[in-house]
Structure 1
Amino acid sequence: MSFARADDGVSLYYEVNGTGDDVLVLIAGQANNHHWWDVARQDFDGRFRTVVFDHRGTGDSDKPETGYRTRGFAADVRAILDDMGVERAHVYGTSMGGRIAQWLAADHPGRVRRLVLGCTSPGGVHGIERSAEVRRSLAQRDAAKARQALLDLLYTPDWLATHHGPFDTTGDPGMPPHARRGHFTASKEHDGWDALARITAPTLVVHGADDIFNPAANAPLIADRVPGARLHLIPGARHAYFEEFREVASPLVLAHLGG
């Protein structure tokens, strides 16, 4: 375990695992820490040195009052690479992590070798928002019902029937309220449309075909916007495709990163 220092002095916790020569940075979703990747990460440790980290506001990273925006989160990733002494790395971001990865690849093209954007959105006026029905289901006053609604958006009924948790994709329970609000605002205000057109890294866009949490219609928008990007929709998969459908998703990502 290690700590990097962000541009504004925030301490960022990160871990490195695996044995490969190349580095793969895995970027978690909104309001989640590095445990988001605990299941899927093992699929990549045999080929890469994998890097996972706690976003500012989560886990063992600092939890400042300010500094929550997707472009700033991308600068945090760059600070981690600097601390490691790594010039270029592969990058795989999912959900809000995919929004962050968009900025990283656009703002720091020399730092990203190959890019994977999973279950994410361009945001802004071009992004496809979740429906009002989905928003209402997540905003229920009954916390248990709201949590179940989130699980139903992440995983299929068949998966939930045989997997009873604990789940590492439903948010970091230790986040203070101001950090949780900051993550929500960062994701909501993301607008990567112009950034997508500036991405030069070979890019794979992956999405669960049945994802309505971050609607799957966002995937072709991103793939059409990033020069030369490839698109793969996974039939039957919801938002947490990288975990439930890892037997499909991980080989796709490995093939892309292997060139």
Structure 2
Amino acid sequence: MPRLIANGLDIHYERTGQGPRLLFISGTGGDLRVRPNMLDGPFARAFDLVAYDQRGLGQTEKPDHPYSMADYADDAAGLMDSLGWEDALVIGVSFGGMVAQNLVVRHPGRVRRLVLACTSPGGAGGASFPFHDIGHLKGEARARHLLPVNDTRLDAAWAAANPERYAEAIAQAAADPFAGEPGREMGARRQIEARAGHDVWADLPAVRTPVMIAAGRHDGIAPPQSQLNLALALRGSVLRFFEGGHMFMLQDRSAVPAMVDFLLQGDALAGT
């Protein structure tokens, strides 16, 4: 089980593939033990790919004190230091996209090209869905609340017309194979608390890293307007909408190849 000390934290990570260096930053509740995941797909075939469990999650250390978005960004930079990576390509998905924005703001020289997937800038640019407001919802109740937010097409009418698919989706979303582990609930709560404070809106116009913004047309967690705002703030960025909701990377088969193509652009990446 590979581990490194980064930013004073014991971090679990996994590494696979060959090619340009790519750091993958996962979303809310991300846990590398849940398979298949990004390590099993096209990113691992095109890049020297590193993914990791963020603080408070999975098999990474779970300190019981408040976390900040700066902590998460510095964890990512610290992991790169421990790997001996001066810089890397970066993709951040959902909450991971918030971390990636903070990373490129706080450590701009470390990010060569950046993909922000289904995420939001916060502040006046628009926030993603407020998970901190539904902390009281657990299990199936939480899954029922979030399903039509994850994909706005999956509303009450869809649920009534597709009872078996609805029941399957709820059961899948409610399942937690690692429930009850020491520190799991606390760490997840600390992440949500940090997420509520995400706001880099005023800092984004200074970013000069090439950025692709990738989003789902039917995403209610990271709404389309937030994606348009990101594109306006990040000068020269590329904005692509795909068919799907918050999980558009699984729903639209053209999404991940488009991200791979963007990350591989540029003669400067050759041989790295």
With the length of structure 2 as denominator, give the TM-score of the two structures: 0.81
Deviation at 1:34, TM superposition (A): 3.1
Identify unmatched segments of 5+ residues in structure 1.
none
Deviation at 1:43, TM superposition (A): 0.9
Map of 1:2 onto structure 2: 2
Identify unmatched segments of 5+ residues in structure 2.
266-272
Residues 32 and 170 of structure 1 are in contact (CA less than 8 Å); yes or no, is this contact kept in structure 2?
no
Map of 2:220 onto structure 1: 212
Q: Identify if the C-alpha distance between structure 1 residues 183 and 171 changes in structure 2 by more than 3 Å, giving closer, same or farther.
A: farther
Q: Identify if the C-alpha distance between structure 1 residues 198 and 82 changes in structure 2 by more than 3 Å, giving closer, same or farther.
A: same
Residues 151 and 170 of structure 1 are in contact (CA less than 8 Å); yes or no, is this contact kept in structure 2?
no
Q: Identify if the C-alpha distance between structure 1 residues 87 and 135 changes in structure 2 by more than 3 Å, giving closer, same or farther.
A: closer
Letter of the 2:248 counterpart: Y
Map of 1:255 onto structure 2: 261
RMSD (CA atoms): 3.0
Q: Identify if the C-alpha distance between structure 1 residues 227 and 116 changes in structure 2 by more than 3 Å, giving closer, same or farther.
A: same
Q: Identify if the C-alpha distance between structure 1 residues 121 and 37 changes in structure 2 by more than 3 Å, giving closer, same or farther.
A: farther
Match of 1:243 among 244, 250, 272: 250
Structure 1 counterpart SS, 2:44 = coil
Say if 2:32 is the partner of 1:24.
no
Residues 103 and 195 of structure 1 are in contact (CA less than 8 Å); yes or no, is this contact kept in structure 2?
no
Deviation at 1:126, TM superposition (A): 2.8
Map of 1:121 onto structure 2: 120
Q: Identify if the C-alpha distance between structure 1 residues 141 and 37 changes in structure 2 by more than 3 Å, giving closer, same or farther.
A: closer
Letter of the 1:94 counterpart: V
Map of 2:270 onto structure 1: none
Return the alpha-carbon distance in structure 2 between the equivalents of residues 142 and 50 of structure 1. 33
Per-residue CA distance 1:134-174 (angstroms, 9 max, x = gap): 998x5675631322333444356599939768569989744
Count residues in correspondence.
252
Deviation at 1:12, TM superposition (A): 0.8
Residues 98 and 120 of structure 1 are in contact (CA less than 8 Å); yes or no, is this contact kept in structure 2?
yes
Match of 1:146 among 142, 145, 169: 142
| Superposition pairs of residues 1-259 of structure 1, within 5 angstroms | 1-7=1-7, 9-20=8-19, 22-34=20-32, 38-41=36-39, 42-128=41-127, 130=129, 141=137, 143-154=139-150, 161=165, 173=179, 174=181, 176-235=184-243, 237-245=244-252, 247-259=253-265
Name the larger-Rg structure. Answer: 2
Residues 38 and 44 of structure 2 are in contact (CA less than 8 Å); yes or no, is this contact kept in structure 1?
no
Residues 214 and 240 of structure 2 are in contact (CA less than 8 Å); yes or no, is this contact kept in structure 1?
yes
Q: Percent identity?
A: 28
Residues 105 and 111 of structure 1 are in contact (CA less than 8 Å); yes or no, is this contact kept in structure 2?
yes
